[in-house]
Structure 1
Amino acid sequence: MNDQGRSSEAQTTDRLELLLVTGMSGAGKTAATAALDDIGWFVVDNLPPSLLMDLVTTVTTRTDLRRVAVVADVRGGVFFSELRGALDLLGEQGIRPTVLFLEASDEALVRRFESARRPHPLQAGGRVLEAIEREREELASLRVAADVVVDTSLLNVHELGARVRAAFSGPEVGLRAIVVSFGFKYGLPVDADMVADMRFLPNPHWVPHLRVQNGTDVEVSDYVLAQPGAEEFLDHYSELVEMVSQGYLREGKRFVTLGIGCTGGKHRSVAMTEALAQRLRKQGIETLVVHRDLGRE
């Protein structure tokens, strides 16, 4: 191929958005790809990784598709082991797919497989929990390298769809953020890139008329934001996110999940999450709010 041909191909592939959807079996890839399809992505499920380069070539030379999502997971069996080499080959052509990794707790995955009455792809007659553990080991390097990690343990299909649409619905012009409120007593959000602890603020739980309310209620929000250090935290934390966002974008990371925690995920973390999201939006960062533990006892 001559220089002009290579230049034309490079320009064409530069316009292609390639998304690799992977993660734990049972973590919601079907719901995630349905959401992608709804917002205009062309989805290819369970493609052998060795055909990734062929797919990119076909799409860029024979179609006008510009947003392609490929699902690759352990269902591919021996073919899945070829994924690392296929990604390296794409990298040599200057193509770096965005990686969406779907995660869930062992308990959630076991419950889903038992409910569906279907075996895990790696089960082979053994225990489903052993298959899940083996799958985690096989996917560890992809999990670390992922651009977006979504923990679906507590999400229904509609909530998962909303998370996917928020991350991948439009042109990528800057950083996109998901701000998750949570309760430390229920565990850290495993998909959080940064975590902040709101337990330095007085707890509205100990104010009788606020106890039954939550951080989305005006009285609770006003109480939390009026406490010493609350506004200062929001000032500094939003500045920190704005600062690191430039580094994230330079490194090709366009999505960030921020965890804002308090004891139970009902009052302080919820109020501060809502307030932080408002500030991030004013900075031009597209932001989705998720209250993970709101409503839990």
Structure 2
Amino acid sequence: MKQLIIVTGLSGSGKSIALRALEDSGYYCIDNLPATMLDTIAEHLHANHQRIAISIDSRSAAIETLPAHIEQLRAQNIDVQVLFLESNVETLVKRFSETRRKHPLSESSTTLAESIALERDLLGGLGSLGHVIDTSYLSANTLRGWVKEVVSIEHTGLTLLFTSFGFKHGIPLDADFVFDVRCLPNPHYDPALRDLTGRDEKVQEFLKDHAAVSEMMQDIRAYVGKWLPCFIQDNRSYLTVAVGCTGGQHRSVYLVEMLSLYFKDKQKVLTRHRELK
């Protein structure tokens, strides 16, 4: 099947990095294509390329028609995937300040923060068209890896994505469900475990010895398992479940690893640990 990946989202959130990652993965890439030209993409796919990736931003002509164009392409038996890159205001302001670039929607009468807010409103619900990636705390290398991971899996049905994070670094903007596990016993206070992570056997043994950890695990399993069929019936492509502890190193990592292991035989699963290098 012909493949088309549309990369969109907020300016400064990493669309250029994502597009280069797709180019490295063998996609023919087109930067900043107007939404009105999407109809011509089908011709290129059928005539020249099996896989094309394009980026579309808020300056694109008729951006509001993007959902309709996507449906038309899918009706032509083209596998269309959407990657929507998101980031918080503080990170975007910092990135624009560091690069000294001008925001594409900025005018003499608007501040940078106001331009970012305007763009967020213009893009509206485009994130619901596909997979949202919050790049607020991601390095360029991590983003490249996540993009390649997303496009490498078979996109039939819903993908269940479990991600760990640290509350002190902020809640992921791309999360559908957020579970707070900061009430659980913390391996950080054991000097022998502090520099390890929830992937290490000693940390896992520490957490397995506490009944509260097992109870929390069972409750999250039950909740996700109960509502997963509802999201599948809603034709969702992704369901992102975020589990957070204080620093995102021990408890949340362990729970995400165990949840992924439990659900992997029931659903397509992706696993991410935002704070682990």
How would you bin the TM-score normalised by the shorter chain?
A: 0.7 to 0.9
Q: Secondary structure at 1:163's aligned position in 2? A: helix
- CA drift at 1:228: 0.9
| More helix as a share of residues | 1
Quick one: percent identity of the two aligned structures? 34
- CA drift at 1:136: 1.3
Task: Tell me if structure 2 keeps the 8 A contact 1:181–1:259.
Answer: yes
1:156 aligned partner, one-letter code: S
* Larger CA Rg, structure 1 vs 2: 1
- CA drift at 1:248: 3.9
1:187 aligned partner, one-letter code: G
TM-score (norm 2): 0.85
Q: 1:133 to 1:93 in 2, by over 3 A?
A: closer
1:49 maps onto 2:31 in alignment = no
More deviation, 233-242/223-232: 233-242
More deviation, 26-35/84-93: 84-93
CA distance in 1, matches of 2:126, 2:28: 22
More deviation, 234-243/176-185: 234-243
- Structure 2 unmatched ranges of 5 or more: none
Q: 2:169 aligns with which of 169, 174, 186?
A: 186
Q: 1:168 to 1:62 in 2, by over 3 A?
A: same
CA distance in 1, matches of 2:175, 2:70: 28
Number of the residue aligned with 2:58: 74
Task: Tell me if structure 2 keeps the 8 A contact 1:53–1:90.
Answer: no
1:35 aligned partner, one-letter code: A
- CA drift at 1:59: 2.9
- CA drift at 1:127: 2.8
What do residues 164-210 of structure 1 show as CA deviations (whole Å, max 9, x unaligned)?
11111243245434322122233211111222222342222344543
Number of the residue aligned with 1:8: none
CA distance in 2, matches of 1:139, 1:190: 15
TM-score (norm 1): 0.80
Q: 2:44 aligns with which of 48, 59, 81?
A: 59
- CA drift at 1:279: 2.6
- Residues 208-247 of structure 1 mapped to structure 2, 5 A cutoff: 208-235=191-218, 237-238=220-221, 241=224, 244-247=227-230
Query: What is the Cα-based RMSD across aligned positions, in Å?
Result: 2.7
1:293 aligned partner, one-letter code: E
Task: Tell me if structure 1 keeps the 8 A contact 2:45–2:52.
Answer: no
